[in-house]
Amino acid sequence: MEFASPACSQTLPGGFVFLSDIDPTIIQDIRYAGPNNFIGRPLAGYGAAECVVKRDLGLALKSIQQQLAPRELSLKMLDCYRPVRAVRDMVVWAHNGRETPAERRYNPVFSKKDLFRLGYIAERSGHSTGAAVDLTLVDLKADNSARFDPGNAYADCTAPESARAPEGSVDMGTGYDCTDVKSHTAASSITAAQRRWRNELVAAMARKGFVNYSKEWWHFSLPGAGRPAYDFPITPRMR
């Protein structure tokens, strides 16, 4: 069954919608559509920096956003639906036998070939079913103007916020996609303030049924939201 977004004539398969058609106030920074990610380039299938989700999941995110708005907080989407071809792209990357300094920023301790065994990369992703999203929180009262510079030699993703690549969001203790025990949601090595932000995000998501993945503070799934896996590319939304 297909679903046509009411805001435009574009149709996506499998009941998927563009999140911006459901709630344009939710900030989007789709990291696999550009160079600011652990591979350093757009992943296969990411032809546009658009968050695509199952309709029910999108409506749940809209409700969470409405609850955050009075406190001048916003969700910020980092990844949503992920084509199967992008997952395969990650698998090939993990086994290519090379580790560049830019890649080590995201993976400061482990060898990338071990990321599957350790549970940081999966050969089958819930993102491809529409059941999972990666996201963080933005304090709208803060200065979020710092932008990622691919030519900058940032510190690794576990470093203090001032030294690592800018996220344009609250300080969760690590950068997004940081493959380190410090990224575990319940990590003991973060500050009290970082702990409060993680708890804030988990609580906001849990109120709408989202479940956090314990090794990644940013990763949440909505049980029953999606199956099977899809491989259609993400393309620019019609305006």
Q: Which domains does the chain have, with CATH numbers?
A: 3-221 (3.30.1380.10)
Q: State how far the Cα of 35 lies from the Cα of 94, in Å rounded to an integer.
A: 17
| Bond before 228 cis per omega within 30 degrees | yes
- Per-residue model confidence (pLDDT) at position 2: 36
Q: Which pair of structure tokens corresponds to residue 59?
A: 């409506």
Instruction: Convert the pLDDT of each residue in 9-68 to its tens digit.
Output: 468 998 999 999 999 999 999 999 999 999 999 999 999 999 999 999 999 999 999 999
CB 80 within 8 A of CB 226: no
pLDDT digits (tens, 9 = 90+) for 44-56: 999 999 999 999 9
Strand partners, 79: 134
- pTM for this entry: 0.92
Round to whole Å and give the CA distance between 26 and 77.
7
- Res. 225: pLDDT tops 60: yes
6 falls in which pLDDT band (50, 70, 90)? very low
Residues 197 and 191: beta-carbon distance below 8 Å: no
Indicate the pLDDT class of residue 70, thresholds 50, 70 and 90: very high
